Amino acid sequence: MLYKPSSEKEEVDRWKEVTLVYNSALKEVGTKLEILNDEFQHVHQYNPIEHIKSRLKTPESIVKKLKSKDLEATIENMVEHVNDIAGIRVICSFTSDIYRIAEMISGQNDLTVLAVKDYIENPKPSGYKSYHMLVTVPIFLSNKVVDAKVEIQIRTVAMDFWASLEHKIRYKFEGNAPEHIKTALIQCAKMVSQLDDEMLSLNNEISKL
């Protein structure tokens, strides 16, 4: 990598440009998802997407992540090695919606899917469930096109509820939660899965009637 900022001002400028690109990526992917949801509503009279949240990772979190990977806090490392700087969370009602949305995203031929992690089929040991897609989206700037990475997390409302409590616990105990808390959290994750299963099967049943 030959990139080398010649001064601090250049570094600040480059940081602003990078932020601009990731922000634009959030807007672009957000617009795409809105359009797909509108189309789905038009064809199936049903909104698969309950709501969407998007966020840009804070500089503090980015630096922390780089440190945890034993990497220097440079803009190059961040662009190369931190995949969730731009993050979009898609919340839906049923597990089946998750795969429908994932499929619609995969079908977009201007997006490139770099990686998929299906934590629904294979939950994390903590109990975490969610469907993650790492995609790149082309951002049309005035004189060039830049590909920007966006992490899309798709999950049900119940999984999302659980995940926000789990996040709070992880943050509070810095990853070292007491055993009984961890156990209780896994117990809650099971209840979330049972509820999602039961609600989905009920929904499927009434669709057939």
Catalytic one among 60, 121, 151, 174? 151
SS3 content of the chain, % helix, strand, coil (to 5): 55, 20, 25
165 binds a copy of itself (CB under 8 A): yes
Structure tokens at 17: 């440009």
Closer by beta carbon to a copy of itself, 6 or else 142: 142
Is there a contact between 93 and 101 (Cβ–Cβ < 8 Å)?
Answer: no
Q: Does 199 bind a copy of itself (CB under 8 A)?
A: yes
> What is the full DSSP assignment across 102-159?
HHHHHT-TTSEEEEEEETTTS--TT----EEEEEEEEEE-SS-EEEEEEEEEEEEHHH
* Residue 151 annotated as catalytic: yes
CA pair distance 62, 124, nearest whole angstrom: 22
Please, which residue, 1 or 145, has the CB nearer to a copy of itself? 145
Give me the residues that bind a copy of itself (CB under 8 A), please: 16-17, 20, 23-24, 27-28, 31-32, 34-36, 38-40, 42, 51, 93, 104, 107-110, 138-143, 145, 156-158, 160-162, 164-165, 168-169, 172, 178, 181, 184-185, 187-188, 191-192, 194-195, 198-199, 202-203, 205-206, 209
Active site residues: 151
